[in-house]
Chain A
Amino acid sequence: MDAFAFLVGTLLITGLALGVAIHLANGGGPWSRSRSATWREAQERAETLLREMLTVEEYDQLSERGYLDVPSPSQPARTYRVPLKGGRVAIVEGGAEVESLCVGPVESVPPGDVILIHKLMIEGDEQEYLRRANRYRLRVPASLLGVGG
């Protein structure tokens, strides 16, 4: 009797494990598929909104060069270079990168929305944007500054 119970238990556990494996192999079931579909839809909405919010020139720059230049509202010589694929935002002055910023939304949002968040924060609340960012000043060789040899 004990052997029979052991056999039934083993078959049940094996069947359950097999069922879970098949379930996972099929993508994890409706919950997982629903989540990825939701994320895909969120990405599409973000892309649409970004197209609406950028000028044709800005969108072309982003697509072709992989970054969006956002002029500083307070310093005419300064531009913030926001990368399409994430990473640090470069501060460009006089054509040279002088500083980089590590900053982003605390909430996970689609990539298109990340670009838009940078643009809106720089344009509308630059000082708060800078205050929240971790800033990394780049060392410019003295020769490029026209100092020394």
Chain B
Amino acid sequence: MAVMQVLSKLGDTKYEWDVAGVQEGDGAAVAAVQEAERIFAQQRARGATAFKVWPGRPAERMDRFDPQAEHVVVVPRIAGG
């Protein structure tokens, strides 16, 4: 399962999809990944930044949604204080 975690005042909200199911055209998996992609676009429009993350490796910024990404973290916009 791939997961996208969106950080907010609620902590993180998880959106999961089955990468193999998406590749096989499974309806539920496709619907789940479409929902994740919609949230990704919505968050980006609000100024959020998304990263692909892996254990023990530096994060990598994602400008476009990647349904193959195993783990994505979306963080809210930052600003100078």
Residues of A that sit less than 8 Å from B by CB: 38-39, 41-46, 49, 53, 55, 73, 102-110, 113, 116-117, 119-121, 123-125, 128-129, 132-134
Contacts and interface: CB of A to CB of B under 8 A. Distances in A.
A73 B11 contact: no
A120 B11 contact: no
Contact of B80 (A39, A43, A134): A134
Interface in B6-49: 7-12, 47, 49
Given A41-B11, A123-B59, A134-B81, A109 B76 contact: yes
Q: How large is the interface on B (under 10, 10 to 19, 20 to 34, 35 or more residues)?
A: 20 to 34
Contacts of A73: 58
A105 B12 contact: no
A109 B12 CA distance: 9
6 contacts: A49-B5, A108-B9, A109-B8, A120-B59, A121-B78, A124-B51
Contacts of B7: 46, 105, 109, 113, 116-117
Given A53-B73, A107-B76, A124-B61, 5 more contacts: A49-B11, A117-B78, A120-B73, A124-B49, A134-B80
